[in-house]
Amino acid sequence: MIYDDPTGIDDGIKQEALDFVRFNISQMLKYPNQYQVVEETVNQINLKDIDLYLRKMDREQDLDVKDLSIESIDITDIEKFGQICDYIQIDSVNYPSRHPQRIYFIESAYSAITLIPIELDNRSLSIYIEPLESSPDFITELWAINKDKKDKGLEGIQFVNPRNLPSRSTKRR
């Protein structure tokens, strides 16, 4: 994702931050046993940038992993936000006011990771990535609740026999 900046300075820094996130997601999904945690502060991006980038990555399936799926959960409870900050050891941050705080669950055919971006200020984020299986219970419970909601949505799908569909010649009359 490239941004418009006549000087190219901000675009370059923003792109570097997004590339860092992409690289670490890819590495953790491809080699789940080699990486335990990625913790880094990235500059010149915010929660909206991360969300747009991850949505693009999911939509275009442009990460070199099989069966990429990126889901997110909005964290609307301030106590839960505080619990997350305590877990990843970030102090003195406020609940974001401009963009929703989310936790991302990124899955491939062979592994799953949790990505937690925390906005430190309007120009930098703390990025925390770990294998889903290493996440604490309160985070894996959010993942399970989200999975249940997605799975229950399939109950309303009904299969139709193609012979029972109106033919094209019937529609034109």
Q: What is the amino acid identity at position 101?
A: Q
Q: Considering only CA atoms, which of 63, 62, 116 is closest in space to residue 93? A: 116
Q: Hunting for tokens 């909005």 — which residue is that? A: 74
Q: Summarize pLDDT for 94-122 with one digit per residue, the tens.
A: 998 888 999 999 999 999 999 999 999 87
For residue 33, the model assigns a pLDDT of 80
- pLDDT at position 68 over 80: yes
CA–CA distance, 50 with 22 (Å, rounded to integer): 10
Q: Quote the strand ranges of 7-135, DSSP E.
A: 38-43, 69-74, 102-107, 112-121, 124-131
Q: Summarize pLDDT for 2-34 with one digit per residue, the tens.
A: 444 444 456 788 899 999 999 999 999 998 888
Domain coordinates in residue numbering, the chain: 9-172
